[in-house]
A = this chain, B = another copy of it.
Amino acid sequence: MSTYDKRTIPTLISLDPSAPATQQSGLHNRWHHDIPFSASVAPGQAFKLHCLDWTGGQIHNNDSADDIVDVDLSQCHYLTGPVECKGAQPGDVLVVDVMDVVPFPDHAWGYCGIFDINNGGGLLCDDFPLAAKAIWDLDGVYATSRHIPGVRFAGISHPGIMGCAPSKELLYKWNQRETQLIAEHAGTVPPVAYPPTIQSAYVGATESLSQAVIDTIAREGARTIPPREHGGNCDIKNLSKGSRVYFPVYVDGAKFSIGDLHFSQGDGELTFCGAIEMAGIVTLKFTLIKDGMKKLSMNSPIYLPSVVDPRYATQVTFQGISVDQDGNQHSMNATVAYKQAARAAIEYLHSLGYTKEQAYLLMSCAPIDARVASIVDHPNASVTIGIPTEIFDRDIRPDAVAVAFEAGILKRDYGAYHATTTKRA
């Protein structure tokens, strides 16, 4: 072997996706500057990290949605890290090369689900108050589901969450603004935000910490649900292998964490438990741009999505505007517009023989594009959602659908078998 031979890429944090999350180290489920490093690496050195699925193994590969009903969201998300990037200082930019994102070799499956409206809900929880689930087999680059027949698509696998730990000041800002929002919307179901809670707070390798610090982290640590200016739960479906991401650094060593791996996700992640959620292994490499936040005029991440993503030629595309399902006019509300586009798409897929739950789940995890078409034409924003035609085993273009309707052969039933529940949270 010559000196040039590359050594094996080290696995900095190893996990067992079948074991309870709380019995494993290298994990945490809150954002806090005092969570100690779980691993350390120098810039330029590729490394691997294991990741649990976002719930830490609460959801199982079976045909019942009961586990979805009962999911404990206060545990979510189990993140791997924090990892120290040697030499990183506040103001630097941590450049992260996403070199690979794969499921564990012996866990080649994932799931997506609809949460019960009383336990998490989703974007269309008024339409879909009850839990449901679909299991996906991960077959090389493709996913198929026994619960949603007739589709097969290439995953654009990515981590839903990446980011560096916030500084004390930034964390304070997060907690303050979100607490205020919660106060303003008290009693909303599902809640408008998730405040810090000591329930199920898990702050990793605590052996080096005093109980007082552990308690502080649990009490102050920001929940991992939302994306924030450090990145976090951005759920950008194209951050697949080959992507490069530029993250702001707020604390010494950067304290980078990662998790919420998705085999595939649609833009928007509609159902909340929306991507094909999986446990898996990521391969990463850090480099640093010293004083990079200033050099790049940046206060939030910059992304260079991968050139290796599938691109589909044809998409059946639906439109939504800022008028909700009850006919109420909103002012330039892109959220309402997105929801209405999604509803139109679900209605269309339903007319092809899918149950509405199947359509909602599919829209959430298949490589759907959601675009803000226009957001200046008062009072309506215009959002489009495009479904690639090639992922179906038959022609879903409107011309073909109209012909099939005419011929009476449209209502092939895709709905006979999918995982639901009669439980209620």
Contacts and interface: CB of A to CB of B under 8 A. Distances in A.
Interface in A275-333: 283, 285, 289, 292, 295-321, 323, 327-333
9 contacts: A4-B63, A5-B107, A6-B137, A97-B140, A177-B327, A194-B378, A236-B373, A308-B310, A335-B375
Interface in A370-403: 370-384, 386, 390, 394-395, 397-399, 401-402
Given A296-B348, A374-B235, A376-B268, A305 B317 contact: yes
A142 B63 CA distance: 40
A284 B148 CA distance: 24
A264 to B, nearest CB: 12
A136 B108 CA distance: 30
A298 B405 CA distance: 13
A214 B245 CA distance: 56
A204 B191 CA distance: 51
Interface residues of A, number: 144
Nearest to A332: B335
A163 to B, nearest CB: 11
Contact of A348 (B235, B298, B372, B383): B298
A2 to B, nearest CB: 4
B329 A379 contact: no
Nearest to A294: B405
A386 B274 contact: no
A369 interface: yes
Interface string A336-369: 0110100010011011000000000000000001
A185 B331 contact: yes
A46 interface: yes
Interface in A170-225: 173, 177-178, 180-181, 185, 190-194, 225
A141 B243 CA distance: 9
A242 B146 CA distance: 20
A105 B381 CA distance: 33
Given A99-B140, A331-B192, A371 B178 contact: no
Interface of A: 1-2, 4-9, 18, 46, 60-63, 93, 95, 97-100, 105-109, 122-123, 135, 137, 139-142, 146, 154, 160, 173, 177-178, 180-181, 185, 190-194, 225-229, 231, 233-237, 241-242, 246, 267-272, 274, 283, 285, 289, 292, 295-321, 323, 327-335, 337-338, 340, 344, 347-348, 350-351, 369-384, 386, 390, 394-395, 397-399, 401-402, 405-406
- Copies per assembly: 4
B2 A62 contact: yes
| 7 tightest Cβ-Cβ pairs between the two chains A and B | A99-B140, A235-B374, A334-B334, A177-B329, A297-B351, A8-B106, A226-B380
Nearest to A181: B329
Contacts of A297: 347-348, 350-351
